[in-house]
Amino acid sequence: MNDNLNYEQGGFKNYTTDGVSSTSRAKIDKAKILTTDELGNSLQTFDPTTLSPNSMILVQAPRRSGKTTLVESMIHDYRKKNKVDLVVLYSKSNAGFKQIPQKYRFRTLNTLPQLIDTQLNIKKVNTKRKNVFVKSNVIVIIDDFIDGGKTDVKTSDILIALSTKGRHLSHNNNSNLMVIMLSQLMTAIPPVMRRNMDYIITFKIASRIERKSITEEFLTLKSGRGGLSEAYNLFDVVNSDDFLALVIHGTKSNKYRYSDYVFKYIANPKLPKEKWSGTNRDFETPLKIYF
């Protein structure tokens, strides 16, 4: 890890690239290597109601592992204390998320630029106002756009721009765009997108390559072989319960211990029926499922 120098109170103080002083980093590296049980007990349960309304979230796990269930559970919890005006789904299969009517479900990303422009215009309007604001807090779910085409998450300019600049669409708590991306492969997500995600959420993963990608990029807090071994112990926490996920606060600075930026979350697979978007009449249109 590279050091940079910061002048402070007449002398130089070393800082590592994640904002932790070199002295603190040395103490972290020398600390005991924790087991999976010890790490699991040290993690707090993630509270989705604390999510920022303009969060960028990446949910990565294999097919049929429960990604949809987890996102449904998190949005259900988030809405308990936060106003959501619209939830939109972009999915090639159009499967899952029955809380969203067909009117707000799309198989391509063609309407996404229009949605972004709308949010930007609303921000401009709200910026000029002093009292009465336009409310437009939107959640966009983008499900597995990895197909080798123009909308592939690996090459899509709109998705890359959204991950790096999407936060600039916000106006306080009045208008925001939260983006939740679901992917079977972490390695398919461009590095610039991964590094701009506020949260990375992952389940059990059989693929050694995918496990390595997440563990070494986001969970290696200590240096050396012992630190890497502990990072893999932390990842194995997800094996202790069904629907258990690790929630990694990717943009958190000053990471002294795992509990500073890693949480656990158990999705609720038995949620009440909800309607996140549209009217009762919108839900009369049957969903079209594509395979």
Domains within the chain, CATH numbers bracketed: 1-30 (no CATH), 31-284 (3.40.50.300)
244 bridge partner residues: 266
- Grouping H, G, I as helix, E, B as strand and the rest as coil, residue 278 is coil
Contact status, residue 287 vs residue 102, Cβ threshold 8 Å: yes
Question: What's the pLDDT score for residue 273?
Answer: 95
Question: What's the pLDDT score for residue 143?
Answer: 92
Question: What's the pLDDT score for residue 224?
Answer: 82
- Residue ranges in the chain modelled with pLDDT below 70: 1-31, 146-155, 291
Contact status, residue 43 vs residue 258, Cβ threshold 8 Å: yes
- Rg value, the chain, Cα: 20
Contact status, residue 284 vs residue 278, Cβ threshold 8 Å: no
Question: What's the pLDDT score for residue 181?
Answer: 93
- CA distances, 196 to each of 151, 156, 187, 288 (Å): 19, 15, 15, 33
Question: What's the pLDDT score for residue 12?
Answer: 37
Exposure string for 216-244, b = 16+ CB within 10 A, e = fewer:
ebbbbbbeeeebbebbebbbbbbeeeebb
- CA distances, 16 to each of 1, 3, 168, 256 (Å): 7, 5, 28, 12
What is the C-alpha to C-alpha distance for residues 194 and 56, in angstroms, rounded to an integer? 10
Extended strands (E) in the chain: 3-8, 11-16, 56-60, 86-91, 105-106, 136-143, 175-183, 199-202, 244-249, 262-266
Token pair of 121, please? 């215009």
Question: What's the pLDDT score for residue 182?
Answer: 93
Contact status, residue 129 vs residue 179, Cβ threshold 8 Å: no
Contact status, residue 177 vs residue 119, Cβ threshold 8 Å: yes
190 φ/ψ angles, rounded to the nearest 5 degrees: -55, 145
What is the C-alpha to C-alpha distance for residues 185 and 193, in angstroms, rounded to an integer? 13
Question: What's the pLDDT score for residue 226?
Answer: 86
Question: What's the pLDDT score for residue 146?
Answer: 64
